[in-house]
Structures are given as structure tokens and as C-alpha cells.
Structure 1
Amino acid sequence: MLSSKIEKSFETDPSLRALFLFDKEGAFKEEADTLALEGIRIEKFADNFFYLKKKLHTDWVNERVFLYFNFASPHKTGKFLEFPLLDILEANKELVTDDEESFLEEFNLERSQKNLVKKYIKELQYSSVQEVCRPILQSGKLDEESLQRGLISAFLKLNQVSSWEVVLSKSLLLGFPEKETEWKRLMRKLSENDLLGVFSKKINYFFGKSAEVIDQGFLVHLLQKTRYNQITQFIQESHRDDPYKGLKIQDKSQLTGIFQLIQEATNHPQIGQRFEEALEAAGSTIHGKKLIELYGVESDYGLITPEMAWILLSSIGENIDFSPQLTAQKLKKISTEHSLSPSLHQAYEFLIKTGEMIQQINSISNYTLNRCEDYIVAYTTDWSKIDTSYRKAIQSHRNIQEIGDGFDLDAYFTLLNKRYEDFLEKSNREWLRCLKELKFDYSNISTKKQYDFFQKEIREAEVKTVVVISDALRFEAAKELLGIMHGDDKNVAQMDYALASIPSKTSIGMAQLLPCTDLYFNNGNITNLGISTEGVKNREQILNREINESIAVQYSQIEGLPIKEARELFKAPVVYVYHDVIDSTGDKKPSERRTFNAVDEALQELGKFVNKLHHTFNVTRVFVTADHGFIYQDLEIKETDKEASPGNGDISSHNRYEISAQESKPKLGYCFPLSATTRLRDGDQYWVTIPESINRYKKQGVGHQFVHGGGALQELIIPVINSYRKTQAVAKKVRPIVTNESQLKIVSNILRANFLQEKKVSRTEKELELIVGLYKDNQLVSNEAYLKMDSSSDSPTDRIQKVELILNSSAVQESLLKLKVFDAEERLNPIIEIFVRNQTIIATDF
């Protein structure tokens, strides 16, 4: 034992030259007599101070020397200054032989701390314990409470001295059968070190619960108690029939402690996810259905379990067709305030969007308007939002992976499609009747036309311009793209629209976005100046007839270009870029059900591309438009719902139109000259037949859910986005509003605040990042929450976000605090300050 201590002393201190051992009692005499250590000179004192001093200063100056003395240490006798080798002793080290003394010396602790070290020296000798406790093994930091926490932290294999909240939460994870070995080890360690009482006292402090025997079953009980109080934290009085009311904690200070424990546990990198899983497993015996039966759907639950979330969704959703707006608001409140699983979140979003769509449809007082322009204005301002809500609802429906018991998803899906189909049918039937009154003659409609696009927007352009034509980019989807583009505070983008021709098909739309100088239909082989309008190279040739050095290119070709080459390409005065994601997916029967996925993909792709055009390729002006829109209905169109083809398609036909050299008089639908809606010079030689409203013709081998070619508003109103770049920021940031400001209070250590982004991100309102926290004066006393306000949705419910702030234990006694909200780019001055009363601790006067 002595030899190892000597060797360790020299190993840990390479500068050490002389190691002194004073052994008045002779406890180490026999061992010292037989010492033989490689590289270390062993010298026993033989009343030879002069000899030793001389040798240590000369011959042994470069050796490591161990010196054994058979009298007491001069440190203990008080004759320190009389010791002949004092200078050498001071420059080197005295070997401490008892463990406590050695520990004190190793960690430079005070001698007054020896009793504390002695109490726990058995554990402190382990390197693993020392590693955990090292930050507190300092003379100014070591106290018994900290050391006890450090030891239990080490027993629990935490990587540092942790708070009691973390220590207890990690302990609770040992309550399950598979953790029996770890639990027994912890209990043995606590018992051996007389820490069981400390552990039990802390459990009682946090949970108000003590037990004669702390076993694994008791830990599960504490987890159940924690989960129950999470659920019922805002319910003041327990129902008399509540079978779990024995778990209720009424003491507000204990509730504060528990929620502090939950916060620290869930945020802890070692245990966060496992703690939540343990709470969920233990809380599975608390039946959410029973709680909702007793406390009702409208109660303010602090936490809702998946079981409860499905029940609330079913109960609240029952009124969606009768009270869609209120239903959507209630569901949005739940989804905003509670953490839902991905599938549950999508189920809530599905019903929220369904409710919003129904409300938007219900707000239409009359489908019969006076003029065609009125229909176009109604669609571009309001009715197109119905298409967006339907699209979002379908996307959420597709993402629901599991369904809770009692939730009739099919019934809601049928309702969604029925109401949407009814809207499509009524609005487009009246729109087409209005067009018929004008004989479909676009010259009698004051709205901008697709065939005037080049003449009015491109021909006289004074800066280099890129036109991105995204096949089948519908107007409602382009409004979402506009929001994505508005996220750039140096981008100015404006949304306009134009009326595409009928039939709303790619070949005609693409031809009319080019210069319409000398446009001929030629039995479907459309030409301009004698050049076919099909194919990128032909379109480039047509553009060059009007503007020299113009370029036409497929988007897919640009994707693979090196930046240097792309920059050269976009130096051209006009570049037409042809983008095809939506139509290439939707216009094929096997893939038409993925239409809305393709819309999402196209929007993200276009948003990044426009940004890149401005930032990387230095393009000043970018237009985004489309050849046509589309109709999509997610319910499969039955054969009985399709019309028989009128047989008027000897030149061209599809499921929404026919083109013939002869006029027909269909019993249903409309027939008019191709020249009425186009700039085709020979258009009066051809006749277009389309069905009523949104009807489809029976057509083999094609899809019928995604369609275009007819005269529906969704097919004809195309977007025209004009985006240009400024050198400096061009708009203010959106404004956040705390919607529940009058109800703000801290209950059970928690503050919940709801933030509304007042306006959508737009040309004049840019996105904003927020940092939110609770403060006492200028000191942060809670966690910080980060919010990004970047929604471009027209729906206010899409622009609401929840913040949950948990008060630090150091501030639970403060009666008045401040909620402060900062712009993340400017932390000096808050943009919102609200006084908040802390009701966590309520003092009574009697």
C-alpha cells in the first residue's frame, strides 16, 4: 500500500523531487525497511540532517527521493520553523497516509472539511464518482447537500452533479420491471451511505408523499401522480366521482416543484425522451375518456393524452357542418396549446381546414353575380381560398397514419368532398352562364388576358427579365408561393392574374404566353410566324423575332448547370424558363392522386429558384405565371358521374373539351368559336365544346380527378407574379399580438401565452423572429421560447403560435413579473412588455 502511494505521488506530480513521510507511531516502519522502487531512492532518517541536506542539494538533485522519518510531522508538533530540512519540505511534499488526508490534499480542500470527506470517503475514492463530483470538490463549493446530490447523481450514472429535480426524475425511470437491477443497486448505495433518509425527504418535498418502503411500485405511483396533475393542473376542484382524485396535489408549492421537475427532466439531454415515455407508460392507467366524461370537453386541460385528443377531436368535430368557424377555432386552440403526435396533428389540421373551407363556402351569399368581372374578382379575392383550404385538408388527410377509436374519419372526408364539389359545381355553373351571355367573347371582358402577357409585360421591359412558366400552377397555389417570396425583406413581389383561353390546355396556353404576332391553330399544330410553338428551341426562335438574344430553356436544364454558366445564360435580356412539376404528375392517371404533393413540391422549388435568380444570377425582374390551372377532386369520379362525349372532337378532345371544325349544339355544355378566347388568327374556323360546370367527358385511359381544358374558374384564372429586387430592405416586419393578454397569469409555475401574427407575410409585411421570456427586472427567470412569424396564410388560425414558459424555482415567490418579447435581431429593447401576476403561491390572510 505504501509503495503504491509513493509511486502515485511521483506520477501525479512530475516536478516532485523529495517525498517526506513522518511516522511517529511506526505504522509503516516494516514496510519502509523493505521498500525497493524503480527510479526512486529510499532513505531512512538516521539522525543525519546535514548529510541528507547536502545530498539533496548536490548528488540527488536530479533524483526522486523518498525520505522516511520516525517522528511526528513538524506541521503537527508546531516546531515547523525548527525543522532542518524546512526549505526542501516546503519545495516538495509530505506523504499523507490516511485516505481522508490524502483526499483533502489531492483536491486542495480545507481541513475543516475532513469530517465531511470522511463520511463519504468510501465512495469518493472511486474515479467515476470523482469525475461527476469534481466541480464541487473545491474548498469554497463543497458542502454536505451538494455532495449528497453529487453522490446520488453518480449512483444514477448522470454525467454531472445534477439538481434534485433531475436526480428524482432519473430515479423515477427505475420504476419499471426491466430496471430492477439498477434500482436495487441504487437502494444499496443509498443505504450504505446513509442517504436513504435524504432521498425519501426529497420525494416527500416534491410529491407530498412519503412511504415506509420505497420500491419500484411506489416510483410508478409517483409517475402516475405527476401525469394526473399535468392533465388537471388548471382544474381547481376534483369531481366527486373522479377515481383518480387521490392523486391530486392541492399544495401549490408542491405543484410548482413538480412542474419544475418536469421541465428540467424533459429538457435534460440524458433523460428527456425516456422521462416522457415513462410518464406516458405510467399514465396509461389514467383513462382520459373518464376524465372528459367528468370534466367535459370545454375544460382547460393542462395536458391531453393521445386518447383524450382523439375524444376531443371527435366530440368537437361533430358540429363542424353546423358551426364550422367555432369548431375550427376550438380545434386550433387545442392543437396550438398541446403537443400532439404527428398523426394527431394532421387529424386536427384536417378538421380545422375542413371547418375553414365550410365557413368560407357558407359566407357566399349568392353565386349569381352581374358580370364576368365580378366572378373573377370574387374568385381571386375570396373563392380561391376555398381551393386552398381543400388542398390543405386533403394533404393533412393523406398524412394521418393512425386513427383513434370513435373518430369517423371517412364521414368527415365525405363531408369535405361533398361540400367542395357543391361549391365547384354552383360557382362554375353560374360563371359559365355569364360567359355564355357574352358568347364567350373575351374582348367584352375587361380583365387582363393571357394572350396579352408578352405585349404588355415583356416587350418594353427596360431590365433583364426572366419569365418562369410553371405548367398548371393554379392561382390559389401561386398565392402561397407569393408568401414564400415575401419572406425575403429585399424582395418586392406583386400578385396579379390573367384569363387563360378555352380550352385551358398546355399547347394553347404556352403559345399565347409568347408574342402573339401571327398565331395560327392549324388543326392543332399551332404556329407563330410560321414557326411551331411546340418545343423549347422553337419558342426561343419566336422570342428572338421580337427581342434579340432571348433564350428559352427547361428548368431541368438549369438545375444541373454550373453557377458560372447559369450566370451567363441569365445575362440575356429575356429568358423563358419552362417548369413542369404539377402537370407532369397530375395529368397522368397513375399519379393524379399525387397532384397536391406535386403542388407543394413546385411551390418550394419555385420559391428557391426565384430567390436564386435575384441573389445568385442578378436578375432584376422575374415573372411567374402558368399556361392554365386545374380542377382536382380527391374522391374518385364514378362512371355514372361522367358525361358521354358529344362527339364534336374530330380535331382534338379530352375529358374537359372537344375541338372540331364544325359547330355543334350540345344538350349540356357550351360550344363557341376558338377565336372568342384566343388570338389565333384562324380561330373562327374551329369550334370548342365544353361541358357544364365541372363535368367530365367519358374518356378512356386518362384520369378524371385532375382535369383541365374546360372553362372553370380554377382552370382559367392564372397567376401573374411580378417579382423584383431592391438593394435594401423594403418593408416593416409583421406585428405580434398576445391574444390572451388579459388572462395572462402564472399558475403552477407555468405561463401560457398565445401569439398572433397580426397580418400575413406580404410585400409590405416581412417575417419576424421572436424571443420570449419571463423577467424580474432585467433578469431572465424562465426558459426562453423562440417563435418564427413567417406565415403567409390568409387564415388567422394559421398564424397563431403558443408559448409555454416555466418559472425558475428562484423566482416562485415573486408576485409580479414581466413577460418580455424581443425581436431576435435586437435584444436591447423589447417590443412587448406585459406585467404578469404570479399565482403559483397564494398567501392566505387567515
Structure 2
Amino acid sequence: MTVIDKIYSYFDREPDLKVLFIFHDDLLAVDLAEAAWKEGYRYVEFKGDWFTTKYNLDTAWANDKVILYFQQESPLQKKSLQETFPLMDVLIANMEYHHQDYAAYMQQYGLPATMTTFVEKNIRQLQSDKMLRLLQSYYADKSISLDIAARAFLSLYMGQSRVLDWDNLILRVLFQGRSAERSKQTDFYVKLRNAPMVKKALDEKLESIFGCTVDDNTEVKVKRLIETFKYNAIIQNLAPISADDYKGYRINDSIALQQMNRILELALSHPKTAEALAEVIDELGTDIQDDNIIRWYGVDANYYYITHGLCLPILRTLMENTLMDDPKKVMGRLEELMVKHCDNGEISAVMDYDVLVARYYECALSLGSITLNQPDDYIEKYQNEYYFIDQLYRQSMECFYKISPTIVLYEAVQKVKQNLDLQYAKLCNRINLEWMRCVKEAGGMTALHGLRQQDFYDSLIKGIQKKVVVIVSDALRYEVAQELIGKLAARKHIAHLNAGIAMLPTETKFCKPALLPHRTLRLYAEVDGTQNMGVDNRILDTMDKRTEQVDAYRQGAICVDYKTVAEYEQTKNREIFKHPLVYVMHNTIDDKSHGATAKDIVENCRNAINELEMLVHKIHETYNVTEVYITADHGFLFNDQAFEEKDKHNVTEAALEKSSRYYLTQSVASVPGIVKFPLAEVSSMEADGVYVAVPEGTNRLQAPSGGYRFAHGGASLQELLIPVIVSRQERENTKPSVGVMVLDRNLSIQASRLRCKLLQTDAVSMERKARTIRVALYHNDRAVTPVKEFVLDNTDASLDNRKILVDLTLNQNVNAKVLQLKAYDVTDDLNPLIKENVTNNTLIANDFDFD
């Protein structure tokens, strides 16, 4: 029977009863205020107006059955109150609500004798409807205990609708210490003081873990708890040193540390609670000064948990002292920081940036000699290794521009970027100087073996007898296409990336039309003196002209702009892709990058990747085209540096046309720092006596046209090597999933935590698809840590970059000395992919000697 039902029973038993008085019961008052009363019943919470209340009882409420609640003790129970209680006559004429006798309550719910004192002391609160709802299932299955009852009271005081475990309760007690939660904290402790046995249970639990409890005599009641929590979360892996002034906070009991770490893991398991943890530590843990801990133990110490204040000096030291010289060490340290640091978002962006920069330096240091024997060796080397230098630089720039300039580490980040800009520029220049040297020694571009851009249609498209789509993405650099391949690999289509050799100059007006079917290409001088290229004696400067050109070689073929396809709805696009051959002109990178900021350039590349991935998928899936080719007219050079006039190569000889990376000339004279090629030889254009002159490395020329951060037209590997992607539709995704293994051996848990590395054994590719796994520690078949999910979708060819750091913290008490690390595919929870024994060292005492 609920409290409300018991109140109704008073009136049912006593037909003449008009007013039922209820005195001082906070939990009951909440139930009464929220109740939906039957017609004819009125609930009134007395607000101090005696006259109005008595008047209403005689008039407006005369026909109602009134339940009248007072926030005071009963005058019938405490006779000294009778003289000051103006409604004493009404009370005597009616009735007072009485709670059930505790013995009857225990008998009704079959409670064990061990709970007698608790029930006797808390009988009024136990009879509230909310408490009954919380405990009903425990009463029903006879699992009720003093521990559950205490947790039920604490849960109710915190406004919860279920009985929380101690870890959740303690975390909420800590979080209430925040200034934003101070009103909730006050209300909680007012209620707690009225339940001494519940408060004692909480105090004993806190004392067993932290060696201290709440200080109810202060406004900030959990300050000592937070300080203890912060200090031990940070230093528990470290032997104490005599210089440590905070060692009095140290917890040496391994079971207490295990419980504390469970609470820490719980806080870090969700972004909202992780943010709350950082907030309460920042507010109340300041007396445990991060600077002192760093001074005593150093930036390289194996801290268990890393606060914001610890993370900053560690990151600064890595950036200032280690990043360029020992990038592998930096990546390992950053992996640890990402796991141990309760991130506030901004620091995460810095760490992401530093990882990419470290990977860049690691890649650069591993290149070995850049002096190769044949020009083809450079083409192969770029496809396998050199492209990654360009890709990491671009990706690092993309990450850099996500970092807020207001962050405290921004000056250190800027220095890292300045060094990277300089080192990347030097390395690109060195590689391309060697590349041009090799080409010259081999007799020119004719020494290269590979698909020539001008042969694209005849070599690849002409012989295809079914529908085919060719996407020409302006300035889709080879390294950008490599990233696109990784995105396409996640789909069920089969795509392969090859390389082609662009014409010189690597300029849109020459290279793009050459990808269309043709018989002849010819250099033309426009009326204004600028140079252009005729395709079968026509300048293809509109989409209609390009459509006429392709239709002449394959009836019904068309050219369309990507924007047209992107804007059209599905029905119109179906009509477009019914044509036997469709050229889609995609201009996201080149169209928006000339003269743009570095931030815009990298964003343009990202947008291009996303647009092309979706376009290819739709062409296959929605428009039923099985053959899709993606290529580019040229690549580009990219450096986020200002190019001063003094740094630009000054060309004094006569030129038919000049840009920042090439000029056309009829002069055969040798020019320092310039390489000249016969235009007909490097482009197949009919152009007697015309040469294309390009800088030997990555220098820019003084030219009327701007655009020095983003530039093309020259013969660098980045400009000249173009991607050729072939994507074919596969109806069923029959690719096997990538594999996974544990890298570490002799796995063991320290202070309730297991940290180990998994390896994604295969890169996601056209041969292997991604896999999602669930990982946890198990005792028998029961998970004793949170089950964490990892997506194995890395496309990186390097094994080192496919490592996954796993961090698992026990969230249950386990007495077993040996547990198991298991990893399951999300589609199969019966057959583990990984099953490794783990020694549980948590049960071993953690005693340190002072030095």
C-alpha cells in the first residue's frame, strides 16, 4: 500500500474526518506534492498564514477532504508546541497521520533482523512512495541489505530513480563540490544530516578509499577528498621521493587504489563526466600544484593520470626539445597523453597536430638516400614513399588550423609549424633537385616510362565497350588521391590507384583538354598574346565544346560540370549517366586555391576527397555505372610560407608566356637554375621551336600571375605525377576483414589497470575491409572492465601507425590472480579474435620505500 493509499484509508475508515494533519517529513512532502489526488480531496502545504488557512477550512474547503502538511513537529507529540499552534482545536477534532510501526513494516516486507535498528531509525523515510519504489525489487527478491538501503537513501537524496552503486554515488558526491553544483550539495547534506546511519555508511566508504571523508563543517565539503583523489590518480605508479611535500596524501593500500581507479575510469568513460572531473579538480585540487609534481618527478615520469596542468608542460617540452630529433619517442609519449589526459578539447587538437608532425619527421628520417639512378626510380619512390611526406604536411596543416590561437601553448605550436614549414620546403626542394638532375642526365622526359596524360583516352577508355564515367578532378595531387583511395576502400567497390605523367606545362588549359579523345594537340597564340592549346584545331573552352569533342569519338558521350551533378536531383542525374561516356569536370581544389590562404587550401583538398568519395559511390550504386575512372590535369606545390620577392627566380629572357612555375620561350640559351624541354617532347603539342622552361627544384618564378603558396605548371614530382584511379563495382563485399593481434607479452594489471597495444595486422585496402572489435578483461565469461569498442579502419601502410593503445580499468572486485584479455568482432560474440592471459597484480601490496 502506498502512502497515498494509506491517506485515503484514513478518510474511508472515518467518514466524518475532514482534515488529516501531517507533520515534518521531507520525503513524504515530495510524494504528496507530486500526487494526483482524487476528486474531493485537497492537498495543502501550510505556508505560515494561520488566518487564511482557518478561514478556507470553514469556507472554500468546507466540502473537501483536506490533507494539511506542516513543516514542523507535531503538537500532539511535543506538548510545548500546543499553545502556539492556532489550529489546535481543528487538530483535536480531526486526526494526525501516523507512520507504520517499524516492526510491522519489517514484518510486511520480510526484512532481516540485521536491519532492525536501521528501519527503526528511518521508518518515516522508508515509507515514502519514492523510497518504496526504489526498494520494491529488493524486497521482492529478498536481496535487501543495509548496504543497499544506505545506497537507496543516498540515491534518492541525489534525485536518482534507481539505486546507484558506490562508484557512481561517490563520483556524484565529488562532483557536487563544483561551484555550479553548490546548491545541490547543500540540499544533499541537509537531508543526509537527518539520516545519521546513512551518513555513517557514506563516511566509512569514503574513509576506506581515500583515508578521509567529507568535512560537513565547511562550505566546500569535499576539498580534501578531491586533493587526495587528484594526487593519487597522478602519482600512484611512482615511488615517492623525499622532496615530495604531498606524500602525506599517498594511498598505499592496493584495494583502495583499485576502488579509486574504478571511480576514475567511470568519470573518464563519458565526455560529460570527464569534463566534470576536470572542472572539480581545477576548482578544488589547486593546492596539489601540478608545477610542483612536475618539478619533483619530471616531464618523463610515468604518471597514471595526467591533468590539464601536467599536460601543458609535458607537451611544451616535447614540442621544444624532442619532436624533430626523436619523433618515435614523441609519438609513444603522445599516445600515453591521449589516454591519461582528461581532455578539454583544445589540448586534444594540439596533440593531434603533434602526432602528425612527429609522423612527418619519422617519415623524413627514414627516407635514406634521395639520389637515385633512373627517372623511373623517382616515380616509383614517390608512389611508395615520397607522397607520404606531402600528405603528412598537408594533414598537419589541416590540423594546425583547428587549434585555437588563444590556447596557452599556441606560441610553442607556432614554432613547431615554422620549423615544419622550413624543413618541408627544404626536403621537397632537395628531392626535386635530385629528380631534375636525374632527368637531365637520362636525356630528358623521354626517359620516363609510364602512362602519358595525352594518351589517357586511347590507352584506357577507348576500348571499354560498356558505360564509363571519367572524373577529371582539377589539381587532384597524387597524395590527395592516395587518401581518397583509403576512403573508397571502406566501400564495397574495388578501386586501384596508378600513376600517370602529366604534360608540361602542368597547367589546366593544356593538361585538361588533353585527357579528352583527340588526334592532334597544337599550341595556339590568342589575340592578346597568351598561349592556349587547340584540340583537333579547336579551343575547348566551354562545356558544350568539350561535349562535342567527346561525342565525335563516341556517339552520345557528354561532358558535365561537377556542380551540375551535385545540384541535380536523382532523376536528372540518372539521365546524365545513361550516356555511354561521361566526363565529369570537378574543380574544387584548383578553382578555390589560387591566391587562397593555407587554411583554405587544405580545406579544399578535404572537401574534394569527401565529394569524390560520395560521387563515386552514387555513380556505382544509384546510377548503375560499373566503370569509373578518376584522374587529374596536374598536381600542385604547397608551402604555407610567404614568398618574398627576393626569393623568386627572376627570368630576364624573352618569354611567350610566364607563370610562377614555368615560362614558354623560343630561346635555347642556358639559364642558371632553369631546365628547358622541347614543348612537343613533353606535351605532344605541335609547337616548332618552343621550349617549356621550369625551375630545377621547387623555386617560384617572378611572374605577373600570383599564387605562390599553391602553385603548379612546373616539373616537380608533386605537379607532374597525376593519379589514375580505376573503380569497379562489386555487388557483394567479399573482402576479408583486417586482422588484429596483441603486441605485448606477459600482460599484467597494475593498480587495477591494464595498458597494452593491439596491432591492426593489415591496412584497410581493396583487399581487406575494416573491422569493429570489442575489447575487455574477463574473469571466466564475465567482463570485469568496461567493454570498449575500436574501429580498425586504418589505411596506413606502416605497421607502426596501425597500433592501438588499449587502456582497461577494473570496475569490479576480482580476487582471481589470472584474468583474460579478449577481443571479439562485433558480429561474433562467441569466438574471440584475441584470448590472452593477464596476471592480476592488483592483489599485490604496493609498498614503496622513500629515497
In which range does the TM-score fall when normalised by the shorter chain?
Answer: 0.7 to 0.9
Question: Using the alignment, how far apart are the partners of 2:809 and 2:104 within structure 1?
Answer: 40
- Residue type at the aligned position of 1:723: S
Secondary structure in 1 matching 2:831: coil
Tell me the alpha carbon deviations over residues 694-727 of structure 1, each in whole angstroms, 9 at most, x when there is no partner.
1111234512111000111100001111111222
Matching residue of 1:655? 660
Deviation of 1:550 after TM superposition, in Å, equals: 1.3
Question: Using the alignment, how far apart are the partners of 1:828 and 1:378 within structure 2?
Answer: 44
Deviation of 1:795 after TM superposition, in Å, equals: 4.2
Question: Using the alignment, how far apart are the partners of 1:109 and 1:507 within structure 2?
Answer: 88
Matching residue of 1:89? none
Secondary structure in 2 matching 1:666: coil
Matching residue of 1:582? 589
Deviation of 1:286 after TM superposition, in Å, equals: 2.6
Which of 302, 313, 316 is the matching residue for 2:315?
Answer: 313
Matching residue of 1:668? 673
Tell me the alpha carbon deviations over residues 92-122 of structure 1, each in whole angstroms, 9 at most, x when there is no partner.
xxx9985226997999734878956553233
Which of 549, 555, 562 is the matching residue for 1:548?
Answer: 555
Question: Using the alignment, how far apart are the partners of 2:469 and 2:729 within structure 1?
Answer: 13
Question: Using the alignment, how far apart are the partners of 1:653 and 1:103 within structure 2?
Answer: 101
Matching residue of 2:622? 616
Contact 2:660 2:708 in 1 (8 A): yes
Which of 643, 647, 667 is the matching residue for 1:641?
Answer: 647
Does the alignment pair 1:519 with 2:521?
yes
Question: Using the alignment, how far apart are the partners of 2:271 and 2:438 within structure 1?
Answer: 64
Question: CA, structure 1 residues 513+221, in 2 after alignment: closer, same or farther (shift >3 Å)?
Answer: same
Question: CA, structure 1 residues 721+269, in 2 after alignment: closer, same or farther (shift >3 Å)?
Answer: closer
Does the alignment pair 1:792 with 2:798?
no
Secondary structure in 1 matching 2:808: strand
Deviation of 1:439 after TM superposition, in Å, equals: 5.2
Which of 625, 644, 653 is the matching residue for 2:631?
Answer: 625
Tell me the alpha carbon deviations over residues 304-355 of structure 1, each in whole angstroms, 9 at most, x when there is no partner.
1223222222323413333334334433443355454433233233333333
Deviation of 1:738 after TM superposition, in Å, equals: 2.1
Does the alignment pair 1:279 with 2:286?
no
Secondary structure in 1 matching 2:791: strand
- Residue type at the aligned position of 1:492: I
Secondary structure in 2 matching 1:419: helix
- Residue type at the aligned position of 1:545: A
Deviation of 1:661 after TM superposition, in Å, equals: 5.2
Question: Using the alignment, how far apart are the partners of 1:512 and 1:39 within structure 2?
Answer: 87
Deviation of 1:134 after TM superposition, in Å, equals: 5.0
Deviation of 1:207 after TM superposition, in Å, equals: 1.4
Question: CA, structure 1 residues 306+831, in 2 after alignment: closer, same or farther (shift >3 Å)?
Answer: same
Question: Using the alignment, how far apart are the partners of 2:152 and 2:586 within structure 1?
Answer: 62
Contact 1:329 1:797 in 2 (8 A): no
Question: CA, structure 1 residues 410+107, in 2 after alignment: closer, same or farther (shift >3 Å)?
Answer: farther
- Residue type at the aligned position of 2:324: D
Matching residue of 2:574? 567
- Residue type at the aligned position of 1:428: N
Question: CA, structure 1 residues 692+201, in 2 after alignment: closer, same or farther (shift >3 Å)?
Answer: same
Question: CA, structure 1 residues 397+178, in 2 after alignment: closer, same or farther (shift >3 Å)?
Answer: closer
Question: CA, structure 1 residues 762+265, in 2 after alignment: closer, same or farther (shift >3 Å)?
Answer: closer
Question: Using the alignment, how far apart are the partners of 2:714 and 2:444 within structure 1?
Answer: 12
Question: CA, structure 1 residues 365+184, in 2 after alignment: closer, same or farther (shift >3 Å)?
Answer: closer
Does the alignment pair 1:806 with 2:809?
yes
- Number of aligned pairs? 765
Deviation of 1:831 after TM superposition, in Å, equals: 0.6
Does the alignment pair 1:342 with 2:348?
no
- Residue type at the aligned position of 2:122: Y
Secondary structure in 1 matching 2:196: coil
Deviation of 1:272 after TM superposition, in Å, equals: 5.9
Matching residue of 1:304? 306
Does the alignment pair 1:828 with 2:835?
no
Which of 682, 687, 690 is the matching residue for 1:683?
Answer: 687
Deviation of 1:374 after TM superposition, in Å, equals: 1.5
Question: CA, structure 1 residues 707+483, in 2 after alignment: closer, same or farther (shift >3 Å)?
Answer: same
Question: CA, structure 1 residues 98+239, in 2 after alignment: closer, same or farther (shift >3 Å)?
Answer: same
Question: CA, structure 1 residues 361+199, in 2 after alignment: closer, same or farther (shift >3 Å)?
Answer: closer
- Residue type at the aligned position of 1:833: K
Secondary structure in 1 matching 2:673: coil
Tell me the alpha carbon deviations over residues 414-462 of structure 1, each in whole angstroms, 9 at most, x when there is no partner.
22122111112111122223333455343x3212211111111100013
- Residue type at the aligned position of 2:641: L
Tell me the alpha carbon deviations over residues 194-241 of structure 1, each in whole angstroms, 9 at most, x when there is no partner.
233222112112212257866444511111111111112322x21111
- Residue type at the aligned position of 1:578: M
Question: Using the alignment, how far apart are the partners of 2:412 and 2:274 within structure 1?
Answer: 34
Question: CA, structure 1 residues 338+752, in 2 after alignment: closer, same or farther (shift >3 Å)?
Answer: farther
Question: Using the alignment, how far apart are the partners of 1:508 and 1:438 within structure 2?
Answer: 25
Question: Using the alignment, how far apart are the partners of 1:329 and 1:248 within structure 2?
Answer: 28
Deviation of 1:601 after TM superposition, in Å, equals: 1.4
Question: Using the alignment, how far apart are the partners of 1:39 and 1:793 within structure 2?
Answer: 71
Does the alignment pair 1:256 with 2:262?
no
Deviation of 1:29 after TM superposition, in Å, equals: 10
Deviation of 1:772 after TM superposition, in Å, equals: 0.6
Question: Using the alignment, how far apart are the partners of 1:430 and 1:4 within structure 2?
Answer: 90
Deviation of 1:798 after TM superposition, in Å, equals: 3.6
Deviation of 1:496 after TM superposition, in Å, equals: 0.5
Does the alignment pair 1:732 with 2:736?
yes
TM-score (norm 2): 0.83
Deviation of 1:675 after TM superposition, in Å, equals: 0.4
Structure with bigger gyration radius = 1
Matching residue of 2:438? 434
Contact 1:350 1:396 in 2 (8 A): yes
Question: CA, structure 1 residues 614+139, in 2 after alignment: closer, same or farther (shift >3 Å)?
Answer: closer
Does the alignment pair 1:362 with 2:368?
no
- Residue type at the aligned position of 1:100: Q
- Residue type at the aligned position of 1:669: I
Secondary structure in 2 matching 1:697: coil
Deviation of 1:258 after TM superposition, in Å, equals: 1.1
Question: CA, structure 1 residues 308+187, in 2 after alignment: closer, same or farther (shift >3 Å)?
Answer: closer
Matching residue of 1:99? 99
Q: Write the mapping of 1:99-118 to structure 2, written as runs, cut at 5 A.
A: 99-100=99-100, 109-110=109-110, 117-118=119-120
Deviation of 1:132 after TM superposition, in Å, equals: 4.6
- Residue type at the aligned position of 1:646: T
Q: Write the mapping of 1:360-399 to structure 2, written as runs, cut at 5 A.
A: 360-399=363-402
- Point out the more displaced range, 136-145 or 815-824: 136-145
Contact 1:656 1:697 in 2 (8 A): yes
- Point out the more displaced range, 688-697 or 291-300: 291-300
Question: CA, structure 1 residues 781+32, in 2 after alignment: closer, same or farther (shift >3 Å)?
Answer: same
Secondary structure in 2 matching 1:819: strand
Q: CA RMSD in A?
A: 3.4
Question: Using the alignment, how far apart are the partners of 2:551 and 2:103 within structure 1?
Answer: 88
Q: Write the mapping of 1:526-541 to structure 2, written as runs, cut at 5 A.
A: 526-541=533-548
Question: Using the alignment, how far apart are the partners of 2:432 and 2:749 within structure 1?
Answer: 53
Contact 1:646 1:666 in 2 (8 A): no
Which of 193, 215, 240 is the matching residue for 2:242?
Answer: 240
Deviation of 1:534 after TM superposition, in Å, equals: 2.2
Deviation of 1:279 after TM superposition, in Å, equals: 2.8
Deviation of 1:800 after TM superposition, in Å, equals: 2.5
Tell me the alpha carbon deviations over residues 130-178 of structure 1, each in whole angstroms, 9 at most, x when there is no partner.
5555544547344333222111211122332211222222122333566
Contact 1:772 1:784 in 2 (8 A): yes
- Residue type at the aligned position of 1:511: P
TM-score (norm 1): 0.83
Secondary structure in 2 matching 1:765: coil
Percent same amino acid at aligned positions?
25
Matching residue of 2:162? 160
Contact 1:469 1:626 in 2 (8 A): yes
Matching residue of 1:755? 758
Query: Which sections of structure 1, spanning at least 5 residues, go unmatched?
Result: 12-18, 22-27, 41-94
Tell me the alpha carbon deviations over residues 651-705 of structure 1, each in whole angstroms, 9 at most, x when there is no partner.
x32111122455554343123321011122x233532222231111123451211
Secondary structure in 2 matching 1:774: strand
Which of 409, 413, 420 is the matching residue for 2:424?
Answer: 420
Tell me the alpha carbon deviations over residues 346-403 of structure 1, each in whole angstroms, 9 at most, x when there is no partner.
3233333333323333334433322211221122211111111211222222222244
- Residue type at the aligned position of 2:381: A
